Structure 1
Amino acid sequence: MKKILFALGLSLTASASFAYNGQIDGGFTYFDHDDSITDSNGAFDLSGTLYFNPVNAKYGPLNEAAFLGHNSNASLAYSYNYWESKNIAGFEQDNKINNISASIEYFYEQFYVEGALGFSRENEQSKLNGFKVADEDYDTTLYRALAGFMPMPNLLLAAGIDGYQGDGDNDDNRFAVKAKYVAALDHGQALNLEADGAFGDTDTVMLGADYYFNPAFSLGAEYSMQDDGDDDTDFFAVRSKYFIHPDFAVGGAIGFGDDVIAFNINASFRF
């Protein structure tokens, strides 16, 4: 027993100066719709990030270590979203969206650059009495480029473009802004504030805040809005993340929108 406790003590001591070179994130979101059409709707997300230099997680919230250390990185992400309708008088429809993207963040002293490029394919199928009556694919290319500046420690302000080009009349080149600030509080606590917006034919806005009770545990909230000129949707979520160990975290969120509730679980692994 003493050997086990000694080994645990060494592990905890080592974690105080933990550094990592990469991170893998994965999650699943289930959407519960309050309508007479949707049968099921969910989304899987997976991403991997490699840092150009080791991230030191010794100071501040573990979840903000890369930002606080100005660690440049490159990442790949994949997401899969599905929606299936109920059988209504023999008619059924389902949509599947596969999206893959690559992005980079680069910090140089007080300057910041972000770039991303993605490809999305949506498949829409319709059936009548079990027979396929439609099967269409829609492709979309997504892009994002931002340049920013850090006027004071732990505050980032950035602006640029965020857009997409797709099949048919599905194009939008938008002005984009981004802001993030991590403030240290007393007794190892901290506050994260972030905002992201893109404005064009379709406007999107995200506002988020997280309170860190200690470096390992946070509780936060997020508000998002989308307006395409005809319809606007609002979504509010409560989120939390806990690092069981500096190299492993679990998280979750519950969100509320127009006639929909979303439940998310996620995990992060660092190496």
Structure 2
Amino acid sequence: MKKLGLATALLLAMTGAQAYQFEVQGQAEHIDNTANDKDFTGAVQGTYYFNDVDSSKGPLDEAAFLNHASNVSAAYSYGENGQEEDGRTRTANHTFGVKGEAYVPTKVVPVYASASYNHTITDNKAGETDDNGDRYALELGALVLPNFLVAVGYTSVADQVSYDAFNIASNGVAKAALESKTIADDQDAITARTKYVGGIDGTNMSIGFESGLVYGEATAFNLGTTLYLNPKLSVGVSYLESSYAGSPDKALGANVNYFITPAVAVGASYVNANAENGSELDTQTVGLNAKFRF
């Protein structure tokens, strides 16, 4: 009976369950830059929602946001970078993160809050001292209009080599690295972001917009838009630029995501971060991702 119940649950998840409470997602990226074409990164994230998430309305990819679904999650990212022929610059980064998000209804508007902690271990392949970095972040906001979130936050970075595992899992390593370089030695940063998802009248399509600002040692902003051609299929573009004194300092990205069933999704991404002034870090990344809900 236990085996039958497990098989039934798996079948429902694979063929069309319209509600879920767990989500597991993973991604992997190949990183090609002028210095080395053997860099890579991978990330996995698991999320538990306190209540069932109804995915029967709107884009499947945004079901949790549209449901104002409070949750807790954990993430891990692993990546290698540096010149292959020079062991002194070859490093491996392990980043662990935990995060909580809450949507609280009020008499005025729904209120949003999040808190996260990330820890990065930089393993030097040449046997030099490993580096450790901690990152704490808090965010407060409100849905000022239906499906329109405005939030501001504070991030404290105890070490400049400290990444956000959730940012890597969602947006890729190139953008996460630019964000880390923007905060840099300042150790404290103010953040702000907006997000909107809404239907296009007379169609089964939807449109999404996101924007963000990071003010640390330098300043970075990002813009993104996603067109949901139907609840299953979406295409998106994004742009990130930072004022930090280095190159590359901007990244242009594109992605496509498709839900094979309401519980299983696959996707691909591409990011181009062109370097200037003869830098060896002219970078392109190609990524694959997948999600499973149950």
Please classify the TM superposition score into its range, dividing by the shorter chain length.
0.7 to 0.9
Q: Which of 1 and 2 has higher RCO (CA within 8 Å, sep 6+)?
A: 2
| Residue 192 of structure 1: aligned partner | 208
Of 47, 51, 54, the residue aligned with 1:53 is 51
| Residue 101 of structure 2: aligned partner | 105
Deviates more, 1:227-236 or 1:197-206: 227-236
| CA–CA separation in structure 1 for the residues paired with 2:92 and 2:62 | 33
Of 252, 259, 269, the residue aligned with 2:268 is 252
| CA–CA separation in structure 2 for the residues paired with 1:183 and 1:78 | 31
Residues 1-271 of structure 1: pairs in structure 2 closer than 5 A: 15=16, 18-33=18-33, 35=34, 37-87=35-85, 93-109=89-105, 110-126=110-126, 134-166=127-159, 170-185=185-200, 186-231=202-247, 233-258=249-274, 259-271=282-294
| CA–CA separation in structure 2 for the residues paired with 1:158 and 1:184 | 22
* C-alpha deviation, 1:170, in angstroms: 4.2
| CA–CA separation in structure 2 for the residues paired with 1:83 and 1:187 | 45
Higher share of residues assigned helix: 2
* C-alpha deviation, 1:231, in angstroms: 5.0
* C-alpha deviation, 1:225, in angstroms: 2.3
Whether the aligned pair in 2 keeps the contact of 1:162 and 1:198 (CA below 8 Å) is no
| CA–CA separation in structure 1 for the residues paired with 2:113 and 2:26 | 25
Give the TM-score taking structure 1 as reference length.
0.86
Higher share of residues assigned strand: 1
* C-alpha deviation, 1:178, in angstroms: 1.4
The alpha-carbon distance between structure 1 residues 11 and 100, as it changes in their structure 2 partners (threshold 3 A), is: closer
| CA–CA separation in structure 2 for the residues paired with 1:32 and 1:230 | 18
2:257 maps to amino acid = K
Gaps of 5+ in 2: 1-10, 162-183, 275-281
Deviates more, 1:162-171 or 1:257-266: 162-171
SS at match of 1:160: strand
Whether the aligned pair in 1 keeps the contact of 2:20 and 2:293 (CA below 8 Å) is yes
SS at match of 2:62: helix
| CA–CA separation in structure 1 for the residues paired with 2:32 and 2:199 | 37
Root-mean-square deviation over aligned CA pairs: 2.2
- Count of paired positions: 249
1:181 maps to amino acid = Y
Q: Deviations over 1:29-69 (max 9, x none)?
A: 11111x2x324111101000000100000110000011001
Larger-gyration structure (1/2): 1
